[in-house]
């Protein structure tokens, strides 16, 4: 029996897919508005989600499990929370101090720990909590690297709209993770983890497509049409989103959302590695401390999970 819990390699795969998807999605920003660039993530992922669900049912030789109403409600609420989290993050970009807003959005993992422990009563190993906090501190340090912010500047920025939008975004993403983990749990222990993940992914993505697509159809049909005329560039974003989300949901089905999202901070290391080795970007001196904190944090989380 392997000493490494399954959620660790699954989370690593999720982070890799997310970095790849984000890189492709960034190339759409010049052609699509931010909401439209977010919508293609859902609409083009849906065919891949349905295909993954069909393959899972075929390989497992199972029919669809009974879907309780709580499952649908969790998927709907989690999907809407993710949409609002994305909107708040985009709002943070629009403010003058968008760096602060983006950085505070990265506190999602820390907010997950606080909410999971204090509100839901989830038991998280103390070593993992320390690791999550260190990883979040490292991500914040990397976000602020190169920014000439004095402690007084940072304090003032922390109560500005950009920071508040960032905190709100992180909270929405934390709520998303919790609700989607709860959705997988409503399917019962008899349902295989893979089937839980792809079914949750497919239903959530379908509901998100209907909700956000409906809003765009009412408010901005021109941008909605663009999402389909640019399908050659947008479709790979959806495919990678489906693969990444499937891995995230599988991680949520295997262990607590706080552990998965905390360990998922390894994404920033992959992002910097791509910038260094493929784009020729140099790591600045101020980033080294952040890299060390993130690395130490994910190691502690993994050690807690293995232990």
pLDDT digits over 150-202, tens only? 666 656 655 667 678 888 888 998 999 999 999 999 998 889 999 999 999 99
List Cβ neighbours of 34 (8 Å cut-off, separation of 6 or more).
Answer: 90, 93
**CA angle, 115 then 82 then 140, to 5°:** 60
Which residue, 201, 283, 192, 207, is CA-closest to 245? 201
The pLDDT-based confidence of 281 (bands split at 50, 70, 90) is low
The answer as to whether 263 is a domain residue is no
Task: Identify the band that residue 288 occupies on the pLDDT scale cut at 50, 70 and 90.
Answer: confident
Q: Is position 165 within any domain?
A: yes
Asked whether the beta carbons of 165 and 95 are under 8 A apart, the reply is yes
CA dihedral in degrees (166, 260, 68, 66; nearest 10)?
Answer: 140
* Residue 270: per-residue pLDDT: 82
- The SS3 of residue 286 is helix
Per-residue pLDDT at 119 exceeds 80: no
- The answer to whether residue 285 is domain-embedded is no
Other C-beta atoms lying within 10 Å of the C-beta of residue 303: 13
Residue 251 domain flag: yes
Total domains in the fold of the chain: 1
SS3 of 169, please?
helix
Residue with tokens 């190691």: 299
Give the lowest-confidence range in 188-197, 221-230, 294-303. 294-303
Query: Does residue 282 belong to any structural domain of this protein?
Result: no
Asked if residue 163 lies in contact with residue 137, where contact means CB atoms within 8 angstroms, the answer is no
DSSP state of 160: S
Question: Quick check: is 262 in a domain?
Answer: no
Q: Which domain holds residue 166?
A: 7-126+148-255
- Helix (H/G/I), strand (E/B), else coil: 158: coil
209 inside domain: yes
Between 288 and 179, the more confident residue is 179
Distance CA 115, CA 191 (A): 27
**Do the domain assignments include residue 153?**
yes
What is the distance between the alpha carbons of residues 260 and 244, in angstroms, rounded to a whole number? 13
CA-to-CA distance for 34 and 94, rounded, in angstroms? 11
Q: Which residues of 175-186 are buried (b: 16+ CB within 10 A; e: fewer)?
A: bbbbbbbbbbbb
How many Å apart are CA 157 and CA 9, to the nearest integer?
A: 37
For 123-131, what is the mean pLDDT? 88
Of residues 230 and 72, the one with the higher pLDDT is 72
pLDDT band at residue 1 using 50, 70 and 90 as cut-offs: very low
Vertex 107 angle, CA 285 and 34, to 5°: 90
pLDDT at 221 over 70: yes
List Cβ<8 Å contacts ≥24 apart for 47-52.
Answer: 47/238, 48/238, 48/239, 48/242, 48/243, 49/198, 49/201, 49/202, 49/205, 49/206, 49/242, 49/246, 50/202, 52/198, 52/201, 52/202, 52/242, 52/246
Cα Rg of the chain, angstroms: 19
For residues 271 and 173, what is the distance between their CA atoms, to the nearest angstrom? 20
In the predicted model, what is the mean pLDDT of the chain?
83
Higher pLDDT: 217 or 269? It is: 217
pLDDT band at 297; cut points 50, 70, 90: confident
């Amino acid at each position: 029996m392997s000493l490494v819990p399954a959620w660790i390699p699954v989370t690593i795969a999720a982070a890799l897919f997310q970095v790849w998807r984000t890189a492709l999605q960034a190339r759409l920003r010049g052609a699509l508005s931010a909401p439209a660039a977010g919508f293609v993530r859902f609409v083009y992922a849906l065919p891949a989600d349905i295909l993954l669900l069909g393959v899972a049912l075929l390989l497992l030789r199972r029919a669809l499990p009974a879907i309780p109403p709580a499952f649908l409600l969790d998927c709907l609420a989690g999907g809407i929370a993710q949409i609002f989290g994305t909107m708040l993050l985009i709002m943070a970009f629009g403010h003058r101090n968008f760096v602060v807003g983006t950085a505070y959005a990265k506190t999602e993992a820390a907010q997950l720990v606080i909410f999971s422990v204090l509100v839901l009563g989830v038991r998280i190993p103390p070593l993992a909590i320390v690791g999550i906090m260190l990883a979040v501190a490292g991500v914040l340090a990397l976000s602020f690297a190169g920014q000439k912010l004095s402690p007084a500047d940072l304090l003032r920025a922390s109560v500005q709209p950009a920071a508040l939008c960032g905190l709100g975004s992180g909270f929405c993403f934390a709520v998303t993770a919790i609700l989607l983990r709860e959705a997988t749990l409503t399917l019962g222990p008899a349902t295989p983890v893979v089937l839980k993940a792809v079914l949750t992914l497919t239903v959530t993505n379908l509901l998100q497509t209907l909700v956000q697509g409906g809003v765009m159809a009412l408010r901005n049909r021109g941008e909605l049409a663009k999402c389909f005329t640019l399908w050659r560039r947008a479709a790979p974003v959806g495919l990678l989103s489906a693969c990444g989300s499937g891995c995230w949901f599988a991680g949520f089905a295997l262990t607590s959302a706080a552990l998965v999202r905390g360990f998922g901070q390894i994404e920033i290391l992959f992002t910097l590695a791509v910038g260094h080795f493929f784009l020729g970007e140099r790591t600045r001196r101020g980033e080294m401390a952040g890299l060390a904190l993130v690395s130490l944090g994910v190691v502690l989380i993994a050690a807690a999970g293995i232990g």
